[in-house]
Amino acid sequence: MGTQEPKPEPDAELKPEAEPKAKAEPKHARDTASGRAPHPPRLTESGFPVEPVYGPDALADWDPADRLGAPGAYPFTRGVYPTMYTGRPWTMRQYAGFGTAAESNARYRQLIAHGGTGLSVAFDLPTQMGHDSDTALAGGEVGKVGVAVDSVEDMRVLFGGIPLGEVSTSMTINAPAALLLLMYQLVGEEQGVPAEALTGTVQNDVLKEYIARGTYIFPPKPSLRLVADTFRYCAAELPRWNTISISGYHMAEAGASPAQEIAFTLANGVEYVRTAVAAGMDVDGLAPRLSFFFVARTTILEEVAKFRAARRIWARVMREEFGARDPRSLMLRFHTQTAGVQLTAQQPEVNLVRVAVQAMAAVLGGTQSLHTNAFDEAIALPTDKAARLALRTQQVLAYETDVTATVDPFAGSYAVESLTDAVEEAALDLMRRVADRGGAVAAIEDGFQKSEIERNAYRIAQETDGGERVVVGVNRYRLDEEEPYEPLRVDPAIEAQQVARLERLRAERDGRAVRAALAELRKAAGGTANVLYPMKDALRARATVGEVCGVLRGVWGTYEPTERF
């Protein structure tokens, strides 16, 4: 098989020099050592230039105490903990879930056996949208992009044989997040695990669904009420659980630049904190349980700068806007996933290199936990071997490199500190524009974040199509013929099996108890009581995800997006 190589440029030494310009040139326009006119500077993903050389002048009038601080101290630019990975590495959390609960359970056991230190659950689209597997809308989607969970019976199978008091579990679920969290707690109770021993995170970030992803159910206002009820419930019942993972990852996958990713994510975070404070919660009681979720791209320097800028912005917002005093309230703790949108179906093994580079960016940026994508995910669900290699990538970084030997190795770098300032400035400008529109929800209703992301995505697509942005195997270094690859496929019989499980569940459960519990949930949803308590009773009685969400739809309605741009 041949490759389509780009035509090599002539040796730069043989190119004639440009005529000297009469006017002053920008600092990047001439190589002072050779006098040659180099190429223009590359632009970052956020659109500002990366200079060929940085020096002390890049940090003129720069106060290290104000912008850096010590590791584990305000403004947390250098990391949220004093020792970071010198004490222990980040949590290696592999995102998995497909088909039936039994199949996903087998994958989780394999990941734990291979050295994984945390689980991360992917749910199928019907579950994410609050529909049971036997509804017409679920047809063809059951178990496809995650595991199907219709009731606590499925959750029990999903975590069978896995001691919930010993693992940390992250669940990527948003609109019906409270339901899945309560099911997890119920399974923990069945295992004899006290609620205070359960650790993990539920994503629970519905605002980004309106911006970039689309798996919303209810309108923004009742959705925020459900988020606030979850905050209060966990404060009382699940004290070690992270109640929300405020996500920029999905915005990045939709085309957001690094600056847009952190700006819109932190603006959503501000909206959640305001909602909780308005509901009577103390900011220092809430904030330490907040966490964030970002992407890691192949552009290492800008990604490291992005993570450092995000920590600094959040620390200042929490202290100056909300008056938080507990140092833990000022810490932006985050999970990272390598960039699925940068994986290619062409020459998929090249994705192993991309994922390693992206993972390095996350580690150098100070992530608290990390998922590394499998190299074949641009084709289908990852095979066992691909998932294992993804985990091994993290283990090589943690135990074979020296990046865990020191905290924040880029601190004081002329290039990285300059980029950190640039990302911070761009992100703060976007956050001000959100605030000027009345906050995140008002800006969502105005279509602001969505339109800004789409504009950036269009720019990236144009640059890729035009060859300015190189994607190996796609617009350069292509193969004439791709090598065959056999992906993992989900058995279509899974849908029928899940429907049969639901039929048995409804036949065997106490229907009267389910109806009574759902009636209590309806009453709470129409009033001001915390809906999670009657919701838990309904799930314990084996009400399904679709039935519980159906009750809430009946009271709160559903969200219909309006295009306003």
What integer is the mean pLDDT of 260-278? 96
Q: Is the distance from CB of 211 to CB of 442 less than 8 angstroms? A: no
Contact 238, 186 (CB under 8 A): no
Average pLDDT of the residues in 251-267: 97
pLDDT at 175: 96
**Span 492-498, mean pLDDT?**
89
Dist CA 336 CA 311 (whole Å): 14
Using the predicted structure, report yes or no on whether residue 351 has a pLDDT greater than 50: yes
Residue 7: what pLDDT? Answer: 38
Does 87-468 carry CATH code 3.20.20.240? Answer: yes
Q: Report d(CA 476, CA 495) in Å as an integer.
A: 41
Average pLDDT over residues 180-193: 97
- Segment 397-411, tens digit of pLDDT: 999 999 999 999 999
Task: List pLDDT tens digits, range 13-48.
Answer: 333 334 444 433 344 444 444 555 556 778 888 988
pLDDT of 10 above 80: no
What is the model's pTM? 0.86
> Average pLDDT of the chain?
89
C-alpha to C-alpha distance for 546 and 137, rounded to whole angstroms: 11
Contact present, 418 and 411 (Cβ < 8 Å): no
Mean pLDDT on 425-453 = 96
Which of 25-29, 32-36, 201-205, 352-356 shows the lowest per-residue confidence on average (mean pLDDT)? Answer: 25-29
What integer pLDDT is reported at residue 564 of this predicted model? 54
Q: What is the pLDDT of residue 35?
A: 53
Per-residue model confidence as pLDDT tens digits over 221-250: 999 999 999 999 999 999 999 899 999 999
**Residue 494: its pLDDT value, please?**
87
Asked if the model's pLDDT at residue 356 lies above 90, the reply is yes
**CA dist list (Å): 166 to 161, 324, 376:** 12, 31, 30
How much is the pLDDT for 53?
A: 92
Which candidate, 456, 490, 421, 324, places its Cα nearest to that of 64?
A: 421
Q: Are 503 and 529 in contact (CB under 8 A)?
A: no
Q: What is the largest CA-CA distance in the chain?
A: 88
Residue range(s) in the chain whose domain bears CATH number 3.20.20.240: 87-468
